[in-house]
Structure formats: C-alpha cells, structure tokens
Amino acid sequence: MSVSTGERHRAELALEAYWSAKNLDDLEPLQWPSVGDRIRQARLQAGLSENEIARRLGITIHSYCDLESYDYEAFIVVPLNKIAGLGRILGVQPRVLLLGREGEEVKQTVTFDDVSARVAKKVVESGLSTEQLGDLIGWDIEALLRDPKSLWDFCVDALYHICKALGLDWFAALPDAGKGC
C-alpha cells in the first residue's frame, strides 16, 4: 500500500469535507481513519487507564474519552503538542496513531521551522499580508512567523491546510512522539 492511498487518503478526504460541514452532525458520517480504535488499543496494550492518560496529558477525562470515541477529534480538536504527548505516553508515533501502518515508515522530514520559513517566503512572493494569506489558507498564521513552535498549538487540520497551501507534505510535518513543546 502506498502512502498516498488508504488511511492517509481517507484522512485527506475527510479533512477537505470537514470544511464544508455545517455542524458536528455532519462530521460523523465522514470516513475518518480509525484513530479512536488505535488509541484505545495502544492504551490497553500499555496497561493504562483512561484517567491516567487524561491526567498525564493534562486534559479532562471527557476530552480523552472523546479521542477514543470520535475519530475526528484527533484531527480537528486536539493540538499537535497533545498528539505528540499521547504518542510519548503510549510509545507509538503520532503518525501511526493517526494513520496506522502507513505511518510506520515515515519520519518527520518537514520541520516547524520549514513551515514557518515557507510562510514567510509565500508572504513575500505573493505580495499579500500575513493576514490576507492566512485568510486564504483558513488559519491565522501570524504566530508562525514570530515563532515556529507556535505550530504545536495547532491541530492536524490546521497543519494539513497550511502545508497544502505552501506546497509541503503535511504527513512529513507531523511531529515525532519524541519531540514536544
């Protein structure tokens, strides 16, 4: 299976469709990758309770249970720093949690510094202000110019759309579990 099919393809289709969703009820029927099941299985394999994971991540038990119950949560709600933290706690790379076996062979080759530099370059090349470019992308990218580490506070959906607009591979920009803010 190539990296451009399967779970990654499902994620990209769902992320594109998400932007046209009118409300939360529209999210359920989207074909998100089975993130919740992978997280649950990794938690059980690690012998940890839902409460322990929530405590260690610094989130509510309700928020953690949503991660296991709703596949879209990991893509559109949880910031990258929490996804990386979850990977560290469970001993599983975030890309594997998000996309299963397709993520096993991929490493982070696009850094947050790369994303920030590309934003700055795109602003200059386009002649647009940072605010105008952010409006086109759909995310406020001002913070990325000041500090590339601010990307830790963005969700996977933001990373996907920012990278797409900049011609970068979002999958290769997903942070490794060993990294963190």
Q: What is the pLDDT of residue 2?
A: 38
Question: Given a cut of 80, is residue 25 above it in pLDDT?
Answer: no
Compute φ and ψ for 155, nearest 5 degrees: -90, 175
Least confident of 1-10, 34-43, 153-162: 1-10
Q: What is the pLDDT of residue 176?
A: 85
**Nearest alpha-carbon partner for 115 in 75, 78, 151:** 151
How confident is the model over 52-64, as pLDDT tens digits? 999 999 999 999 9
User: Of 17 and 158, which is predicted with more confidence?
Assistant: 158
How confident is the model over 40-92, as pLDDT tens digits? 999 999 999 999 999 999 999 999 999 999 999 999 999 999 999 999 999 99
Architecture of domain 7-103: Orthogonal Bundle (1.10)
Q: Are 157 and 18 in contact (CB under 8 A)?
A: yes
**Nearest alpha-carbon partner for 158 in 125, 119, 122:** 119
Q: Among residues of the chain, what percentage have pLDDT more than 70?
A: 90
Give me the DSSP letters along 112-131.
HHHHHHHHHHHHHHHT--HH
DSSP type of residue 27? T
Question: Given a cut of 60, is residue 17 above it in pLDDT?
Answer: yes
Question: Given a cut of 70, is residue 3 above it in pLDDT?
Answer: no
Question: Given a cut of 50, is residue 159 above it in pLDDT?
Answer: yes
Query: Where exactly are the structural domains of the chain?
Result: 7-103, 112-173
Q: Among residues of the chain, what percentage have pLDDT more than 90?
A: 76
